[in-house]
Structure 1
Amino acid sequence: MYFFLRNFSFVEIWFTTVTVPKLLAGFLVGSRTISFVGCMAQCYFYFLLGATEFLLLGVMSFDRYQAVCNPLRYPALMTRKFCLRLVCGTWVAAFFTILGPLIMVTGLPYCNSNVINHFFCDRTPLVNLACTNTEWVENINLLLAGVLILGSLVLTVISYCLITVAVLRIPSAQGRLKAFSTCASHMTVVTIVYGSHIFMHVRTTHTYTERTDKVVALMTSVVAPSLNPFIYTLRNEKVKEALRDAARKRGLFGTKEFQEKRTGFHRIIVG
């Protein structure tokens, strides 16, 4: 689990780095221009890292399925070598999935305008600037986005359906709660990421609205990556235990003197 979380954090850091520094430069310095090559590079890495994120979330759901449904066989099934292959597979699959549509978008003739009504070089605003029929490009992008996003979502849904069936067979309520708690953080992130990206990318330009698209893009590139560390840490018992141990070592709470003061203060209030 922590191996995949480290890779997921790595992807999230670079996903935010693709758009946020340029956005902040526009606010602080006032520079809102970007070269054509820089614009295409930003578009490519944004979708490359986004696609890798989707595939990695699907792999993480498969990992949770193995941990809950095959706990005794988990170390033998999810070896470090196999996990490394899964992570490398997500990068390779995302690279070849995104490369083709970017080449098509780069080859379009842009003569209408050089102003993008967005805070980064998103696919739909770029295609709208082309002075030719772009319906075939939109259809290919829609097809690939649907296969990538919905395909990984189907894997996630199937994994959690099997997890739910396995957990409901656990006789004790404490055991069921413990099993579900290992998946709660991942399910929260899946809901936020898939919900916003499906609304943003799995649609045609006929349903595109610039204001709504910018709000959703801001959530996917800034808000969601900022919330993920808190979601994964605050719902992780091992992280909470490590924080409590660190606080005890620094004498913040848990010491004998603190407990005596706390008890005495409690007695004063009650009395």
Structure 2
Amino acid sequence: MALLEVENLSVRFGNVRAVQDVSFTVDQGIVYSVIGPNGAGKTTLFNLVTGVYQPESGRIRLDGREIQGCDPSRLAGYGVARTFQNLQVWMNMSALENVMVGAHLHLDRSLFKALLRLPSIRRGDAALRERAAELMRFVGLDAYVHARADSMPYGALKRLEIARALAMQPRLLFLDEPAAGLNPKETQEVDQLVRRIADTGITVVLVEHDMKMVMNLSDRILVLDYGKRLAEGTGPEVRRNPDVIAAYLGGHA
């Protein structure tokens, strides 16, 4: 069953058509990757689907509900979470607090109860801290549960962002280059983490340049080139596609 349906999605910036009539569907419970050469429109597509940009035309449906034009906070309420290509971590907070922020939609936000520090608020805070610690352990950050974010290495911060996204309890998780800037060991750890996330039933949509990781993880792959859909299929199908080979290696290939 399709969880996400994108139909003829387009946007331009000035005279540049960044995404042109792109259509695809993502079934529930799979890892779906979006790949393409630099400038192909991958992150722009992510930004359109997750509400950062507004599309000029096209439709986006989440479980049958039209969501094009919805802002990110509303999409979060529908179960859509994402990470970004560049780190978005609060360095003046602890690692645990960064993860706790991701759960804000699931908290009792009553100002009256908070001012009085009622027992229900204290119990909720304690449960949230424990849940955040569990998520940090799930992403492999056991050693940093009591650390400040500004004391953590880059590779750990990438996984911290994923833990924060998971705190939103998403149904659909967008990961924008989660292995960017990582060494081979760290990339392998992220590879294994994405598979663990998918095994919990969360649908993952991935943009990633590491082709070994993409081919290892993906149930389906969408290839973009100059903002257009070039190909779609399984890993072996995409790898053998002559148009994909030409786009990555040049027409002479």
The TM-score by the shorter chain falls in which range? under 0.3
User: So what's the TM-score if we normalise by structure 2?
Assistant: 0.24
Q: Name which structure has the greater RCO, CA cutoff 8 Å, separation 6+.
A: 2
Higher strand share: 2
| Bigger Cα Rg | 1
Higher helix share: 1
User: So what's the TM-score if we normalise by structure 1?
Assistant: 0.23
